[in-house]
Amino acid sequence: MNGRNGQMKKFQQKLSGRIFFALALSSISALALITVFILIQGASIIAEVGVFNFLFGTKWAPSQGDFGIFPMIIGSVSVTLGAAILGIPISICCSIFLVEFAPAALRNLFRPAIQLLAGIPSVVYGFWGLLFVVPLIRGYLGGPGLSILAGSIILAIMILPTVISISEVSILALPRQYKEGALALGLTHWQTIRSVQLPAARSGIVAAVILGIGRAIGETMAVIMVLGNAVAVPQSILDPVRTLTTNIGIEMGYASGEHRQALFATGIVLFVIIMMINASAQYIARRK
């Protein structure tokens, strides 16, 4: 009887392991299928136009056979970089405040409010930016208002909950001995945070930054409403631009033939950019 029970338990364990393996494999398979589909749809137009002309061409006129996405690459990079510069320092400082300085009552108030930011639809952010951020930029800094700066401000707000939440969890996960030992050696509270806790939580913070940048570079609806969507290389942060994602969102509804293939090829470029961001972040984390 005991032998039968032991065999049954082994069978259940093997079955559970195979089920979890199949579930894990399904997520990887979905990613592989999406990647293969985009490559099949977009690789032919890149081969026809040429990689250099596609990536560094400055003219996007599908009806005339011109498929240069360089202005949109610059637009995506500049808006994402602006969002990172504005949002990441604020996010990390906020996570430090919540972990180390905020009273329990204030912490319990701030955490749900920050998490609520993640649940707000992106179109609401875009609408708010169109009504408030764009007019402020136009009135105080000049230009049309629809600009890189407007998009950077909106995306910086949108990445706050992601970076704050993961950075906070990373700091909270550190053993208490790190902080207690540093304080016992005579370090001040701020020196302990700067020299011990932040370096120890580096991997989690880097992961938070990667996810925040991924959210920013992949956002579509909010930035469609505040960027101006001009297909031109910007000269300043007050110029309107179009990103890779907004180009796909705006034109996919009516695109066909080579035009549609070029939009899928734009998706391939987005894949490559995100892979480069991940690889760079991992390389920097390993070096440090």
pLDDT of residue 80: 92
Instruction: Reduce the DSSP state of residue 82 to 3 states and report it.
Output: helix
How far is C-alpha 88 from the geometric centre of its chain's CA atoms? Answer: 11
How far is C-alpha 27 from the geometric centre of its chain's CA atoms? Answer: 20
Does residue 74 or residue 281 have the better pLDDT?
74
Query: Could you tell me which CATH class the domain 60-287 is placed in?
Result: mainly alpha
% of the chain at pLDDT higher than 90: 31
For 103, the enclosing helix (H) or strand (E) is: none
Residue 180 has pLDDT above 80, yes or no: yes
Q: How far apart are the first and last CA of the chain?
A: 57
| Mean pLDDT, range 45-72, rounded to an integer | 89
Residue 250 has pLDDT above 80, yes or no: yes
- Mean confidence (pLDDT) of the chain: 87
**Span 257-280, pLDDT tens digits:** 889 999 999 989 988 888 887 777
**Extents of the domains making up the chain:** 2-49, 60-287
Residue type, 231: V
- Lowest-pLDDT choice from 73-82, 197-206, 263-272, 278-287: 278-287
DSSP strand E in the chain: where? 60-61, 66-67
DSSP label at residue 63: G
Does residue 282 or residue 236 have the better pLDDT?
236
pLDDT of residue 149: 94
For residue 285, name the pLDDT band (cuts at 50, 70, 90). Answer: low
Residue 240 has pLDDT above 70, yes or no: yes
Instruction: Reduce the DSSP state of residue 168 to 3 states and report it.
Output: helix
Residue 176 has pLDDT above 90, yes or no: no
- Cβ neighbors of 143 (< 8 A, separation 6 or more) are 137, 236, 238, 239
For residue 23, name the pLDDT band (cuts at 50, 70, 90). Answer: confident
**Span 136-155, pLDDT tens digits:** 999 999 888 899 999 999 99
Residue 206 has pLDDT above 80, yes or no: yes
Q: Is 59 exposed, middle or buried (0-12, 13-18, 19+ CB in 10 A)?
A: middle
Place of tokens 């932040």: 198
For residue 3, name the pLDDT band (cuts at 50, 70, 90). Answer: low
